Amino acid sequence: MSRLLPCCVDVPSAEGLVRYGLDELLRGLGLAPEWTHRDSARLGVSTEEGRGDGLWLRITPQALADLATPRLRTSAEAGRVKIDGEAWPVPVGPSGPTDALGDLVAGAAWWLAGLQERAVSERDRHGRFPYARSLQAALGAAPGGPLRPAVDVYRRRLAAALREAGIDVPGRTWDGAPWAVALTHDLDALRTRRLRALVGGLLRGDVRGALRQALGPDRRWTTTEALADLGQRHEAPATWFVKPGQWTPEDLPVDLTARADRLRTLVADGEIGWHPGYGVHDHPARWNAEAERFESAIGTPPRLARTHFLRWSEPETPRALAGRGVRIDSTLGFAEHEGFRRGTCHPFRLYDLDADRPSDLWEVPLAVMDTTLTDYRGLDPEAGAEAIRSIFEAARRRGGIAVVLWHNQIGGDDAAWDRWVDTLDRELGRARDEGARLGPLAGLLSAWQGDANQKRV
């Protein structure tokens, strides 16, 4: 549980977003704001210095304006704050060096609420915010880049200021572990349509492959079993996202109802979440149909979700999920590059910008996906191992969580899929040796939410 801290936000505009930014920064420190009048506050945010006793963080009028009218600056235009000897980007407020700690609160809101994505209208062919247009891509390996999440460093600076003001900072761990890795799997299909595979292989001239798919073990299911074995080896129950609908060519036939009993038995120690289909996007009736199919097949309403192809639009997608009972999402990563899309490796609540209030939906941000490494970046397993290690190190350094997405095999080279799983196997073992708690999304989030214990900031 979080320790309450009397707080006040005294600003002429964007109060909801500033409160949100402060709330999310404090949450990772094991604290929670108890909103009060400025005269009673121990921590406050204001455009003026010294608004009463306690610690007051100055926020600039420009930062408030940048929250009201989002814009995406170039890396050269961003503000800079010195933390631990490095200059970290601040996407709101004046350009150049800043010591306005309230601007870090506004900057946290800018990242977490998705104002970067609101400021950029460009989307890729799947309707996704493109990595190439992000501030993280422009920053690269510098502070604030995809593997150096800025919000978590703002939180570190706030913790130092709180301690200097005599305010205790409990911190959080993952049920005693300093960082965590969540193993997740998107099961886009659970069995091979053998006749279709045979015909397709013969038409391509791949007689041997066609016969193997038609007559041999079903790789879609045996690789699902292999992923379950992977989790058992590391004592790491996983979160399994299953797709109950087929609407477009991007949605493979799923046969969830036919395989539901086998799936529940296979992943009995893990969690099963909803993988909304590609064609659900912008179709309210399809959202309803899929949620009902999921509950019918799995036996419980969906509580966790990740959308197929990471399709996401705000406020429509989070409202659709929350409105159908989902409480935890893990969609928000980049398809094209590993890293932290919303500037943090910690869980956070989403923010409904149109309603100007926090959502009930939690985000546990996706950090790395197998197809990012293999398809988008074209890495081999050795280079992929380095990319996974970099993500794990980023989460370890900030006491956060690295969410890994690995699919069962849908097509391609059997031996290549096996080599990549071996790569993940080794890196999970390394993570455990380095103190990570491995587990499923909801289980890890629950551990983090309940663990404010004076160990880690």
Reading the chain (457 residues) residue by residue, the pLDDT tens digits are 689 999 999 999 999 999 999 999 999 999 999 999 989 999 999 998 766 679 999 999 999 999 999 999 999 999 999 999 999 999 999 999 999 999 999 999 999 999 999 999 999 999 999 999 999 999 999 999 999 999 999 999 999 999 999 999 999 999 999 999 999 999 998 866 544 554 555 566 665 665 565 555 688 889 999 999 999 999 999 999 999 998 998 988 777 888 889 899 999 899 999 999 999 988 999 999 999 999 999 999 999 999 999 999 999 999 999 999 999 999 999 999 999 999 999 999 999 999 999 999 999 999 999 999 999 999 999 999 999 999 999 999 999 999 999 999 876 678 999 999 999 999 999 999 999 999 999 999 999 998 655 343 3
Q: At what angle do helices 15-27 and 101-112 cross, to 10 degrees?
A: 90
Tally of CA atoms within 13 A in the half-sphere of 456 that contains its CB: 19
Tell me which amino acid residue 285 is: A
- Residue 143 tokens read as 């502070």
Q: Give the predicted TM-score (pTM) of the model.
A: 0.93
Tell me which amino acid residue 385 is: A
Residue 411: phi, psi to the nearest 5? Answer: -160, -170
DSSP string, 335-356: SSS-S-TTS-SS-EEEEETTTT
CB 304 within 8 A of CB 330: yes
CB 59 within 8 A of CB 18: yes
Cβ neighbours of residue 336 closer than 8 Å, sequence gap 6 or more: 130, 131, 132, 372, 376, 377
Cα dihedral angle (419, 420, 421, 425), rounded to 10 degrees?
A: 100
Which DSSP category does 263 fall into?
H
Across the beta sheet with 55-58, the strand order is: 31-35, 3-10, 43-46, 55-58
Residue 272: phi, psi to the nearest 5? Answer: -115, 125
